[in-house]
Amino acid sequence: MVDVRGLLCPMPLVTVRKEIEKNAPASLEVLFDDKGALDNVTRFVTGLGYKTEVVKDGPDYKLVLSK
């Protein structure tokens, strides 16, 4: 799991990109508190071939990635 809550753009995208480059996970959960960052990361990972599911959890979001 990657927690990018509290990070300002572009750091959520940079953090997720580094995790994917380092570990090439088949699945990954990412926690967000910023809808704009969630949208940017979703576009990025979709381009890498990940399927995405967004779960709203109170004020936060969880993005679930899978290949």
Mean pLDDT of the chain: 97
Tell me which architecture the domain covering 2-66 has in CATH: 2-Layer Sandwich (3.30)
Whole-model pTM: value is 0.94
How far is residue 31's CA from residue 47's CA, in Å, rounded to a whole number? 19
What was the pLDDT predicted at 41? Answer: 98
Residues 29-38 pLDDT 10s: 999 999 999 9
Beta-carbon count within 10 A of 60 CB:
14
Give the start-to-end residue ranges of the domains of the chain. Answer: 2-66
Backbone phi, psi, residue 36, to 5° = -65, -45
What was the pLDDT predicted at 57? Answer: 86
- Which residues lie below 8 Å from residue 46, measured CB to CB, with a gap of 6+? 52
- Which residues lie below 8 Å from residue 42, measured CB to CB, with a gap of 6+? 52, 54, 63
